[in-house]
Chains A and B, each alone.
Chain A
Amino acid sequence: MLGEMRSSLSGQGASLSRYGLARNGASLGMGVPSKSIESKIRAMLAKGWQGAWNAPNESISAPWYQNSAATTPITAVAQFIGNARDKGGRGNHAIQATAAARPALSARVNVLLKSELFTDATWQKRGTGTASATPAPDGTGQLISGIGATGVNDIFQSIVIGGSAGIRMEPQLMIWPISTVGAMHWRNAATVANGLWVLDMSRLTPGQWNLVTRAHPAVTISTEYTKTAGGIGLQIVAPVGGPLSFYAKGAQIEYGTVPTRQQWVDTSTDYDTDGFQKYEKFDGIDDNLGSPTGGGGTAGFFFCQAVKPTGGAGTVRRLLSDRVAASFTGYSVQINASNQLEISAGNGAAYTSIATAGTLAVGTTAMITAWDDGTNLNVQIDGLAVASIGRPVVIAGTAGFTLGKDNGAASGFFTGNAYASLYRIGPVMTLPEIANAQTYIRQQAGL
């Protein structure tokens, strides 16, 4: 019940200032760390450390740069990152000189191409299915009419997105019913077998907007939404009680298994960024960042970040590394081929590795922590059990470090979203310091 109330409350004020809705006040300030936690992080990093503090949420306000030479500031999302500044003040900026290998700065959550303009051609209409700019009585949304049986009289948006098939995705839509008779079906436009939600129209409240997510009592989930190899879609049909007319706005499909705040999208570069966490989007082909300094640690390694892998299952995806594979030196943190979080450290003869028992879910944001506490190598996903193994006598890897691929090799590319990160080598982190770092990372990723 409480969950439903929260969902309903957040839905009534969910974003869309541009389209006539008030913003959800709870979201304001997301990604802006409190002074106290910032000061604790600064104190932690001041203790004779080396490493880097990567804060994408501040990449425009304290600008990062589009080029490696740091002469062209990043001014908006969807620009590419050539120089991610080290907020920690050690000058270990993560750079990428090669234009095609730069990750994009993004705050995109909603993968739909148009979330509000159902009259646009991206929303295909068939048969009697139509959309008009006629708004609901409150002046927002658009009128959708004539929705009937599957594939004959419908409206749908089908999009192609990369990454692995089978990843769970989550739809949502705001509906102002004109009639509360019959049933509305939401189908994955790519294939019905990969998503079918049934809405009992009689359980929607007439005369107002209804935020329809999985939490709404009108929803019966027949088949969960999963991405196919080709992509995902939202097809709206009314096999029972049609033809159906209703007002709609706030369409969304996002990665994951729970609905989050709705994000309006107009184009790939024009979408709601207010209060949405920023991240580096790595394409899994060649994107990576690196610093020529800040690597070479032999003790006290610590790395904490929030990541959302969106593909690459079955392959190793390196998050941070200063290792030299040929000489078995340095540290490395990766998502292994089984989707476990793993840390490796080399003693010059072999790597010692430990992986979490649990796995990272592709399409879901998680906080990962990997550290060397002077006795053990440790890894942890979110707040789950720590997996540990006795540490080797670590031999230093390279003087710098690499983010998003193997250090010194064109492989191990990470596919997905990389939120803020904290990396330190030197003095062993205390447990309170680790807790503070994790609190900061959670804040930065909205976890």
Chain B
Amino acid sequence: MSESHATIIVQAGAAANIRKFSQMTGKVDLDNMFLTALSATGQPPVTYYVSSGAVPDSYLDMLSTPDKLYTRAKAVWEADGLEFPFTLAQVTTALSKVTVGYGTFNGEPEGPHAMLARLGLAIIQGAT
């Protein structure tokens, strides 16, 4: 299984659905993603969530277009004997709230912290 390093940022309102797509298609390896909360100030309320690290290329490919996400997610749900609960329009809307960084920006290397800074986002830290 080939993997690539990516930083994936999801709008808070879409996080639950994207987490579900990830968990269903990747099982344990892609469960519990998008738990690190973000906002413009680093203070609540949460506006985005982020995951960053090595993920399967097949997962990144699935996130590349609504059609791919819809087709693959639907197949996984049905393989598990479940009815796929989303329409293509819903999948399209959810995916429109996902930003994927592949470690470069404008041809230059860009780490996850630099990507967050470029997008004006900061991690919301917990109580000390």
- For chain B residues 113-128, which have a beta carbon within 8 Å of chain A? 113-114, 116-117, 123-128
Q: Does A397 contact B (CB under 8 A)?
A: no
A286 touches B113 (CB 8 A): no
Whose C-beta in chain B lies nearest to the C-beta of A406? B126
> What is the minimal beta-carbon distance from B119 to any residue of chain A, in angstroms?
13
Instruction: Determine the chain A residues whose CB is within 8 A of the CB of B123 once the complex forms.
Output: 284-285, 315, 411, 413
B111 touches A162 (CB 8 A): yes
> What is the minimal beta-carbon distance from A115 to any residue of chain B, in angstroms?
16
B109 touches A102 (CB 8 A): no
How extensive is the interface on chain A, given as a class? 35 or more
Bitwise, B1-16 to A at CB < 8 A (1) or not (0) is 0010011100000000
Instruction: Determine the chain A residues whose CB is within 8 A of the CB of B126 once the complex forms.
Output: 316, 325, 406, 409-412
B128 touches A100 (CB 8 A): no
Q: Does A337 contact B (CB under 8 A)?
A: yes
B128 touches A286 (CB 8 A): no
Q: Does B32 contact A (CB under 8 A)?
A: yes
Whose C-beta in chain B lies nearest to the C-beta of A98? B32
Contacts A97-B28, A100-B52 given; does A413 touch B109 at CB 8 Å: no
Whose C-beta in chain B lies nearest to the C-beta of A72? B1
Interface majority SS (helix, strand, loop, mixed), chain B: mixed
Contacts A160-B114, A337-B128 given; does A97 touch B108 at CB 8 Å: no
> What is the minimal beta-carbon distance from B1 to any residue of chain A, in angstroms?
9
A161 touches B55 (CB 8 A): no
Interface majority SS (helix, strand, loop, mixed), chain A: loop
Interface centre among A69, A99, A315 (most CB of B within 10 A): A99
Whose C-beta in chain B lies nearest to the C-beta of A337? B128
Instruction: Determine the chain B residues whose CB is within 8 A of the CB of A98 once the complex forms.
Output: 28-33, 51
Q: Does A68 contact B (CB under 8 A)?
A: yes
Name the one of A161, A162, A336, A410 contacting B35, with C-beta atoms under 8 angstroms. A410
Q: Does B91 contact A (CB under 8 A)?
A: no
B3 touches A412 (CB 8 A): no
Name the one of A100, A231, A411 contacting B53, with C-beta atoms under 8 angstroms. A100
Q: Does A67 contact B (CB under 8 A)?
A: yes
> What is the minimal beta-carbon distance from A120 to any residue of chain B, in angstroms?
15
B32 touches A97 (CB 8 A): yes
Q: Does B89 contact A (CB under 8 A)?
A: no
Instruction: Determine the chain B residues whose CB is within 8 A of the CB of A284 once the complex forms.
Output: 112-113, 123
Taken together as a complex, chains A and B put the C-alpha atoms of A68 and B29 apart, in Å, by 9
Instruction: Determine the chain B residues whose CB is within 8 A of the CB of A67 once the complex forms.
Output: 29
Taken together as a complex, chains A and B put the C-alpha atoms of A160 and B105 apart, in Å, by 11
> What is the minimal beta-carbon distance from B126 to any residue of chain A, in angstroms?
3
Q: Does A30 contact B (CB under 8 A)?
A: no
Q: Does A178 contact B (CB under 8 A)?
A: no
Name the one of A101, A161, A162 contacting B32, with C-beta atoms under 8 angstroms. A101
> What is the minimal beta-carbon distance from B102 to any residue of chain A, in angstroms?
13
- For chain A residues 332-388, which have a beta carbon within 8 Å of chain B? 336-337
B127 touches A325 (CB 8 A): yes
Q: Does A80 contact B (CB under 8 A)?
A: yes
B125 touches A100 (CB 8 A): no
- For chain A residues 35-51, which have a beta carbon within 8 Å of chain B? none
B35 touches A316 (CB 8 A): no
Instruction: Determine the chain B residues whose CB is within 8 A of the CB of A99 once the complex forms.
Output: 3, 26, 29-30, 53-56
> What is the minimal beta-carbon distance from B125 to any residue of chain A, in angstroms?
5
Contacts A100-B51, A316-B128, A410-B36 given; does A160 touch B117 at CB 8 Å: no
> What is the minimal beta-carbon distance from B106 to any residue of chain A, in angstroms?
11
> What is the minimal beta-carbon distance from B41 to any residue of chain A, in angstroms?
13
Bitwise, A43-83 to B at CB < 8 A (1) or not (0) is 00000000000000000000000011100000000001000
B128 touches A287 (CB 8 A): no
Instruction: Determine the chain B residues whose CB is within 8 A of the CB of A410 once the complex forms.
Output: 35-37, 126
Taken together as a complex, chains A and B put the C-alpha atoms of A437 and B124 apart, in Å, by 35
Instruction: Determine the chain A residues whose CB is within 8 A of the CB of B33 once the complex forms.
Output: 98, 100-101
Name the one of A104, A160, A287, A316 contacting B110, with C-beta atoms under 8 angstroms. A160
Taking Cβ atoms with an 8 Å cutoff, the residues of A that contact B are: 67-69, 80, 97-102, 104, 159-163, 229-231, 283-287, 311, 315-316, 325, 336-337, 406, 409-413, 415
Taking Cβ atoms with an 8 Å cutoff, the residues of B that contact A are: 3, 6-8, 26, 28-33, 35-37, 50-56, 108-114, 116-117, 123-128
The 7 A-B residue pairs with the shortest CB-CB distance in the complex, in nearest-first order: A411-B126, A162-B111, A100-B53, A410-B35, A162-B113, A285-B52, A160-B109
| Interface CB pairs A-B, < 8 A, 19 | A67-B29, A80-B53, A98-B32, A98-B33, A101-B53, A104-B54, A162-B113, A162-B114, A230-B114, A283-B52, A285-B50, A285-B52, A286-B50, A286-B51, A311-B113, A316-B128, A325-B127, A410-B126, A412-B126
